[in-house]
Amino acid sequence: MAADNEGGAAGTATKASAGYRSVVMLLLFLVYAFNFLDRQIISILAIPIKEDLGLTDEQLGLLGGIAFAILYSTLGVPIAWFADRMNRTWIMTIALTVWSGFTAISGFAQNFMQLFLARVGVGVGEAGGVAPAYTIIADYHPPAERARALAIYSLGIPVGSAFGVIAGSQIAGGGISDSLDWRAAFIIVGVAGIVLAPIFKLIVREPKRGQFDTVPTRAAQSRQETGQYAPGKIRTLSIAGAVLFALPSLLSLFNMLVFGATTVQSVPVLLAAAVVGAVSGWMGGIWVGRQTRAPLLMLGLAVLMQLSALVAWGIPALDGAGFGAAAIGWLIGHAVAGILLGAFFAAFRDFMSLALEKPSFWLMILGASASSMMGYGVFFWLPSFFARNFQLSLTETGWLFGGVLFVAGSLGIFLGGVMGDIMGKSKRSAFATVPAMAFLLSAPLYWAGILSPSPLLATAILFIPTALGLAWLGPVLSAFQHLMPPHMRTSASSVFLLINNLLEIGGGVYVLGRISTVLQPTFGDGSLRISIVIGACLYLVAAFFMFWAARYLARDWEGDGDLKPVPQAEPPTEAEPAQ
């Protein structure tokens, strides 16, 4: 807590002027734009990279997804722990420097593995660039303005993505100089981010935490829960644990049955491993709920996570398949995952105790993650789609797709934030229903655009779902800031980013590439089109979760701030808690 006090003393103790807040928003926006520029530039460079290094769509999916998501998602949680206690502007400055440096290093890669490791490094840096920014914005803006402020910040997504696509296509496509290629594109944007880092630190001051949250929150008024969890919370953890522990075996089974993958495990073995995983996950939920000592938490979860892995690899080994490097790596991976999971619940016990009381928090995460799987996957693969199906050049693809991203994405994010602020003043469920309606409209419009016979018609139609698919950012990110008290907001944002990014980046990009690779023998260059059409169904899943979350938002809200209260006919009773 000394670091927290020190950071608070060094920060702004009084509310900043409107002019200075605008400068802060501009710099936060620029950092976020570089965040997406550095991760999205590989989508347009995928075309020359594939030719130069001889890669498959599946490998490109790994570079654009899992390589980035592995540490980007997981490191965000421990970084958030520090950001809730230390100076957030320093964390963001270091993060910007690291990810920009690895972006530049990507330009020197000579093969798939070198480029994969460089992209992992980009993910390490970007892990500290987003969650702290959410809470800095919340501490510079009153509650009624946060959806709009977070929407303006989120404009960094379409602007950075569009600039990455356009700049990358111009550099690698010879639009600037014939001597520049995809390697030069990585180096140029990486160096630009390194230059921005000290400017950001010199100008942006650490704000006082919670300075606009004048109404005490329920969490601040209640006793912190550091002992055993209540039975209802343990039951929720057990259900989640059963799903999580069984998931690896179920995904392997899905990969085998749907994609025709070959594994040493048979279908009965994977089913047995999934059942053992579900049982051990249920026991893991009980262990987390009742055990409070960090070493025992980590040890217990590490052992429980091993059980399904031992079934999955032990039975084939006894049957003569052997116990090689893959099996050892699988067991070590499960042990490490168990240790990290135990460390998380030990460090974030108070946060999880509060979060388990708020179904809207988890439902909005699932809704946002489902939409992001499609959104991020499409943003990565659309340049390749236009090039393959309409025979466009790299430069033409860059201008066409970059223009859609910039105009439609910016419009959708901004209007979504404005609508969230306006409608949310009297009805908090609007922070979920506005995105839900946008998602419902996105799916059929994506189908129509992707199946269009010409590039101009496809572009015109895709303009609308691109805007609608990003409208959720302002309302949902604002809601997350209101669902938790100020001292837990970075933690809440990091948990959201952990789940969202593992699914959107690690899942969406890879899965669309994997489906395309499997369908290529049948559909040729049209396989990517079919893959995107299938993926668009995720927007319907996202709408379902958002409508479900809307039922609980008013109940889960933490403190009113200066939002207009929801009218009530009579004082709340014990059976009807205050909204």
Gap between the Cα atoms of 564 and 579, Å rounded: 12
**Which part of the chain has CATH 1.20.1250.20?**
2-211+356-556
118 token code pair: 């460089």
Cα atoms found within 13 Å of the Cα of residue 88, Cβ hemisphere only: 31
Place of tokens 């109404």: 215
- 152 Cβ neighbours under 8 A, 6+ residues apart: 25, 29, 414, 417
Gap between the Cα atoms of 47 and 279, Å rounded: 45
- 457 Cβ neighbours under 8 A, 6+ residues apart: none
End-to-end Cα spacing for the chain = 32
Dihedral pair phi/psi, residue 578, rounded to 5°:
-60, 140
DSSP state, residue 224: P
Strand partners, 207: 12
356 token code pair: 């388990």
Q: Which long-range contacts (CB under 8 A, 24 or more apart) does 329-336 make?
A: 331/306, 334/248, 334/302, 334/305, 334/306, 334/308, 334/309, 335/302, 335/305, 335/306, 336/302
560 token code pair: 């009113």
Gap between the Cα atoms of 274 and 277, Å rounded: 5
**Buried-exposed string 289-320: b where 16+ CB fall within 10 A, e elsewhere:** bebeeeeebbbbbbebbbbbbbbbbebbeeee
Among 1.20.1250.20, 3.50.50.60, 3.40.1190.20, 2.30.110.10, name the CATH number for the domain at 2-211+356-556.
Answer: 1.20.1250.20
Strand partners, 12: 207
Count of C-beta atoms within a 10 Å radius of residue 120: 18
350 token code pair: 């108070």
One digit per residue, the tens of pLDDT, for the chain of length 579 reads 334 443 443 444 456 787 898 899 999 999 999 888 877 777 778 778 888 888 877 777 777 666 566 667 677 778 877 777 788 999 999 999 998 999 999 889 888 888 888 888 888 888 788 878 888 988 888 877 877 888 888 888 888 878 877 877 777 666 666 667 788 888 988 999 999 999 999 999 988 877 776 555 444 444 444 568 888 899 999 999 999 889 888 888 887 887 777 778 888 988 999 999 999 999 999 999 998 888 899 999 999 988 988 888 888 877 766 667 777 877 888 888 888 888 888 888 888 888 898 999 999 999 998 998 888 778 778 877 888 888 887 778 778 878 888 888 888 888 887 877 777 677 888 889 989 999 999 999 999 999 988 888 988 999 999 899 888 888 888 888 788 887 787 778 778 877 887 777 666 777 787 788 888 888 887 888 888 888 888 999 999 999 999 999 888 887 654 344 444 444 444 344 433
Distances (CA, A) of 460 to 155, 399, 442: 21, 14, 14
Chain centroid to CA 155: 16
- 555 Cβ neighbours under 8 A, 6+ residues apart: 360, 577, 579
* 273 in Cβ contact with 306 (< 8 Å): no
166: region left, alpha or beta (phi > 0 left; psi from -120 to 50 alpha): alpha
- 101 Cβ neighbours under 8 A, 6+ residues apart: 121, 125, 190, 194
> pTM higher than 0.85, yes or no?
no
Quick one: which of 69, 80, 2, 17 has its CA closest to 494?
A: 80
